[in-house]
C-alpha cells in the first residue's frame, strides 16, 4: 500500500534527480572516481520504520558525518567538561578544513570542523590505535543497527594525500590540544571517515539520535541521552559548516554533511533523514542532499521550531465497538452479532498537535491492523492542530481503506478536515465526517451489522399493533388496546419532554430515533442512550409517577403511539391480566435500557458534546 509519505518522498526524489549541479570531492583521489549521479533518499521514524527512494543500499564512505558520532563517543569516554576543555562549540564561519584555532581560547572552534574532529578522535579511549578504531567502528555499527566495515581504498587514498589534515594535527600538538603523536589522531580520523555506510544506515543513525540515542530496531543504546542533547546542539549550529545559518532558517534540522555526498538530518523525537548524492557545492555539502532536505522539511512540516506536542505517537487510545459500544439500543440479534464481530470495528482516538510525525505513526498503526477490521473511526476531537501534510495523510488513509473494502469515518467537531457539516456520505467534503463519537460508534456498529446480522434488526418503522411491547399479548388484547393509543409526530430536533416534566406515558416508537440527553454545568449536552423504532421510553416516570430526569430529543422525524398514564392506570381495574403482561415486558425493556447505559458509560471513548 503506497502512503502519502512514499508519494512525497518520491516526488522530492524526482525533482532533485534532475539537479546535476556541483562537483565531486577531487582532493581525495578515490572520491573523484565515484559515479557522480548516484542518488538515494531515506526517512526513518523514531520507531524504526524506513521510507526509501533510489539506490539506498549502495555503500559509500561516511566521511565527515562521522564527526558528531565520534564527538559523542568522546563525551561518553571523557565527560563533557574534559571534552569542552579541548573543543569549543561555536560556529567557525570558516571552511571545514581551515588550519586555525579560536584566537582567544586557542582551541578548535567546534567538533564539526576537521581540527575539532581530529581532537575528538584523539580523546577516544583504547589500549592502542587498533583498539580505538574498533571502538569507533562498533559505535557507528550500534547507530546503524548492523556491522559496518572500512573502505581500505578510500582510507589509503586519504592517508596518502591528507597533508592538510596532518598540518592541522601538528598545529593541535603545538598548542597542547593533542598530547601524543598527532599522526595517530590524524590516522584514526582518516579511518573513521572511511567507514562504509548506505543511505538506509545513515537514516537509522539519524533515527537513533532522534530516539534519544537508542537504536529503534535493535534497542541498543549507542549514546546516552545527555550526550545526544549536546551532539544535536552542535550539529544545529555547526553541522553544515559556513552554510549552517541558511540551513537552520530554511530546513530547521540538526544535520551533518560529508564530502562523500551524504547528508544526515535529525528531528528530535520524531525522524531521521539521510540523502546520498556525491556532487558537492562550494561549502562541501551535497547539492541534491541540501535541496532534498529543504523540500522534505517544507512538504512534511519538519522545521524544529514547529513541533507537535504529541510528537512520538498521536494515538491516545484504541478500542473496538465490542469494548466500547454506542448508546444505541439494540435487538437481541444485533447485540449477539456485535458481541461476535464488534472487534472488526475499531476506534483510534488521536490527541495533541497532529503534524507529520504524529500523523505518520497514527496512520501506520491503523494500516497495520487494517486486515482485521471492517470499519475504522479516527477521532480528532482532542486534536488541537492538523498540519497540511497530516490532513493529506488522513485523506490518503481513508482512500486506501475504502479501496480495500473497509469503511472509514472521522469524528471532527472542529472541522480540522475542512468538512462544514456532519455526514455519513463518504463523497462529502472531507469524507465521512461525524460530529461526535457516539454517532461514529453507531455508524461503525451499523457497518458490522450490515455485514454480519441479516435478521433481527431494528426495523425502520412498525405499526402500533406490531410493536414488540405487545408481543406477549393475545390478539384480542392488542385489538382492544391499540385503538385507544393516541399517535403523535415530532419534527427532527424537537425536544419531546424536558427534565422535570411530568410523565407523558409509555411512548412506543413507531418510526424515527430519539435520545435521552443531560446538560452539564458548563452547558455541554451529553447523550445517554438512543432509541429507535420498536422500542419504548418513559416507562419509569409513568410507573413511579415521577418527573423526567433527562431531556428526550427527537434526533429524526419521530412518530409515537402513547400509552398515557391515565389509560395505564385504568388497565389495573379493567384488564389486570393485560397490565401484568405489559409490566413484564416493560421490566425487561428497562433492564436492557439500563444495561445499554452502563455499557456505554464503561466505554473507553469519552462522551462527547453534541454540537
398 in Cβ contact with 408 (< 8 Å): yes
Does 241 participate in catalysis according to the annotation?
Answer: yes
- Kindly state whether residues 443 and 470 are assigned to the same domain: no
CATH number (domain holding residue 488): 2.60.120.10
**122 lies in some domain:** yes
Cα separation, 555 vs 537, in Å, equals 14
Q: Is 63 part of a structural domain of the chain?
A: yes
pLDDT at position 53:
96
Active site residue 548: no
Name 287's Cβ contacts closer than 8 Å, sequence gap at least 6: 19, 21, 22, 277, 279, 280, 281
| Same domain? 422 vs 485 | no
Answer with the one of 398, 430, 452 that is the final residue of a domain: 452
- CA atoms within 13 A of residue 372's CA, in its CB half-sphere: 10
Q: Is the domain of 90 the same as that of 221? A: yes
Residue 328 has a pLDDT of: 84
Catalytic residue among 12, 259, 462, 497: 259
> Do 294 and 399 share a domain, yes or no?
no
Q: Are residues 112 and 176 in the same domain?
A: yes
Examine the pLDDT at 2 and tell me if it is beyond 70: yes
Q: Identify the CATH number of the domain in which residue 442 sits.
A: 3.30.750.24
Q: Which of 140, 189, 490, 548 is catalytic?
A: 189
Does 276 reside within a domain?
yes
| Tens digit of each residue's pLDDT (9 = 90 or more) over 363-406 | 999 999 999 999 999 999 999 889 899 999 999 999 999 999 99
Mean pLDDT of the region 166-195: 95
User: Is the domain of 416 the same as that of 498?
Assistant: no
87: Cβ–Cβ under 8 A, 6 or more apart, which residues? 71, 107, 108, 110, 111, 116, 119, 120
Q: Please identify which of the residues 67, 122, 256, 411 carries the catalytic annotation.
A: 67
Torsion over CA: 342, 344, 345, 348 (sign)? positive
Give me the catalytic one of 241, 348, 490, 548: 241
Q: 266: domain range? A: 4-300
Do residues 289 and 349 share a domain?
Answer: no
Q: Is residue 104 part of a domain?
A: yes
Shared domain for 468 and 446, answered yes or no, is: no
How many separate domains does the chain show? 3
Active-site residue 604, yes or no? no
Q: Known catalytic residue: 56?
A: no
Please indicate, yes or no, whether residues 262 and 367 belong to a single structural domain of this protein: no
Out of 40, 56, 64, 326, the active site residue is 64
pLDDT tens by residue, 430-485: 678 887 888 899 999 999 999 999 898 989 999 999 999 998 899 999 999 999 99
pLDDT band at 611 (very low <50, low <70, confident <90, very high): very low
For residues 291 and 330, state if they share a domain: no
Same domain, 125 and 206: yes
**Cα dihedral across residues 56, 57, 62, 68: positive or negative:** positive
pLDDT bracket for residue 225 (50, 70, 90): very high
Boundary (domain end) residue, out of 254, 273, 300: 300
Cα end-to-end span (Å), the chain: 36
Q: Are 490 and 537 within 8 A, CB to CB?
A: no
Residue 444 sits in the same domain as residue 489: no
Establish if 609 belongs to a structural domain: no
Tell me which of 392, 425, 452 is where a domain ends: 452
Judge whether 319 counts as a catalytic residue.
Answer: no
Amino acid at each position: 500500500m503506497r502512503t502519502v509519505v512514499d508519494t512525497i518522498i518520491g516526488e522530492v526524489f524526482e525533482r532533485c534527480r534532475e539537479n546535476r549541479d556541483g562537483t565531486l570531492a577531487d582532493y581525495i583521489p578515490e572520491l573523484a572516481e565515484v559515479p557522480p549521479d548516484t542518488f538515494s533518499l531515506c526517512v526513518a521514524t523514531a520507531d524504526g520504520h524506513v521510507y526509501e527512494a533510489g539506490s539506498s543500499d549502495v555503500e559509500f564512505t561516511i566521511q565527515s558525518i562521522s564527526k558528531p558520532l565520534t564527538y559523542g563517543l568522546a563525551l561518553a569516554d571523557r565527560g563533557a567538561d574534559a571534552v569542552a576543555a579541548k573543543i569549543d562549540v561555536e560556529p567557525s564561519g570558516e571552511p571545514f578544513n581551515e588550519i586555525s584555532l579560536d584566537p582567544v581560547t586557542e582551541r578548535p572552534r567546534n567538533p564539526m570542523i576537521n581540527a575539532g574532529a581530529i581532537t575528538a578522535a584523539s580523546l577516544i579511549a583504547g589500549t592502542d590505535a587498533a583498539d580505538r578504531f574498533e571502538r569507533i567502528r562498533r559505535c557507528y555499527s550500534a547507530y546503524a543497527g548492523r556491522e559496518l566495515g572500512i573502505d581500505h581504498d578510500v582510507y589509503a587514498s586519504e592517508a596518502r594525500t591528507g597533508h592538510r589534515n596532518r598540518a592541522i594535527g601538528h598545529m593541535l600538538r603545538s598548542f597542547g590540544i593533542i598530547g601524543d603523536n598527532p599522526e595517530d589522531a590524524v590516522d584514526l580520523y582518516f579511518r573513521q571517515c572511511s567507514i562504509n555506510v548506505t543511505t538506509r544506515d545513515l537514516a537509522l543513525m539519524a533515527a537513533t539520535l532522534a530516539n534519544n540515542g537508542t537504536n529503534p530496531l535493535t534497542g541498543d543504546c549507542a549514546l546516552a541521552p545527555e550526550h545526544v542533547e549536546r551532539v544535536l546542539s552542535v550539529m544545529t549550529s555547526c553541522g553544515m559548516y559556513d552554510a549552517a545559518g541558511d540551513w537552520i532558517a530554511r530546513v530547521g534540522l540538526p544535520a551533518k554533511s560529508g564530502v562523500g555526498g551524504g547528508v544526515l538530518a535529525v528531528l528530535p523525537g520524531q525522524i531521521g533523514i539521510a540523502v546520498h548524492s556525491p556532487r558537492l557545492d562550494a561549502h562541501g555539502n551535497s547539492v541534491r542532499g541540501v535541496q532534498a532536505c529543504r523540500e522534505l522539511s517544507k512538504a512534511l512540516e519538519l522545521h524544529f521550531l514547529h513541533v507537535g506536542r504529541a510528537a512520538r505517537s498521536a494515538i491516545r487510545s484504541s478500542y473496538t465497538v465490542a469494548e466500547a459500544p454506542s448508546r444505541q439500543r439494540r435487538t437481541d440479534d444485533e447485540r449477539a452479532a456485535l458481541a461476535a464481530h464488534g472487534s472488526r470495528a475499531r476506534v483510534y482516538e488521536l490527541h495533541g498537535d497532529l503534524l507529520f510525525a504524529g500523523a505518520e505513526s497514527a496512520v501506520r498503526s491503523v494500516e497495520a491492523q487494517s486486515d482485521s477490521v471492517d470499519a475504522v473511526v479516527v477521532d480528532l476531537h482532542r486534536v488541537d492542530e492538523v498540519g497540511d501534510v497530516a490532513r493529506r495523510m488522513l485523506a490518503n488513509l481513508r482512500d486506501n481503506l475504502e479501496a480495500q473494502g473497509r469503511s472509514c469515518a472521522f469524528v471532527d467537531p472542529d472541522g480540522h478536515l475542512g468538512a462544514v457539516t456532519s455526514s455519513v456520505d463518504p463523497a462529502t467534503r472531507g469524507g465521512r465526517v461525524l460530529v461526535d463519537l457516539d454517532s461514529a460508534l453507531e455508524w461503525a456498529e451499523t457497518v458490522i451489522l450490515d455485514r454480519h446480522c441479516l435478521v433481527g434488526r431494528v426495523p425502520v418503522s412498525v405499526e402500533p399493533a406490531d410493536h414488540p411491547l405487545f408481543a406477549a399479548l393475545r390478539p384480542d388484547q392488542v385489538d382492544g388496546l391499540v385503538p385507544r393509543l393516541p399517535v403523535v409526530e415530532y419534527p427532527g430536533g424537537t425536544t419531546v419532554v424536558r427534565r422535570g416534566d411530568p410523565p407523558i406515558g409509555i411512548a412506543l416508537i413507531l418510526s424515527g430515533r430519539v435520545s435521552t440527553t443531560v446538560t452539564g454545568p458548563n452547558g455541554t449536552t451529553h447523550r445517554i442512550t438512543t432509541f429507535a423504532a420498536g422500542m419504548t421510553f418513559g416507562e419509569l416516570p409513568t410507573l413511579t409517577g415521577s418527573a423526567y430526569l433527562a431531556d428526550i430529543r427527537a434526533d429524526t422525524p419521530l412518530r409515537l403511539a402513547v400509552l398515557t398514564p391515565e389509560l395505564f392506570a385504568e388497565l389495573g381495574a379493567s384488564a389486570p391480566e393485560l397490565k401484568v403482561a405489559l409490566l413484564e415486558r416493560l421490566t425487561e425493556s428497562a433492564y436492557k435500557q439500563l444495561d445499554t447505559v452502563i455499557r456505554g458509560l464503561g466505554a473507553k471513548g469519552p462522551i462527547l458534546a453534541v454540537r
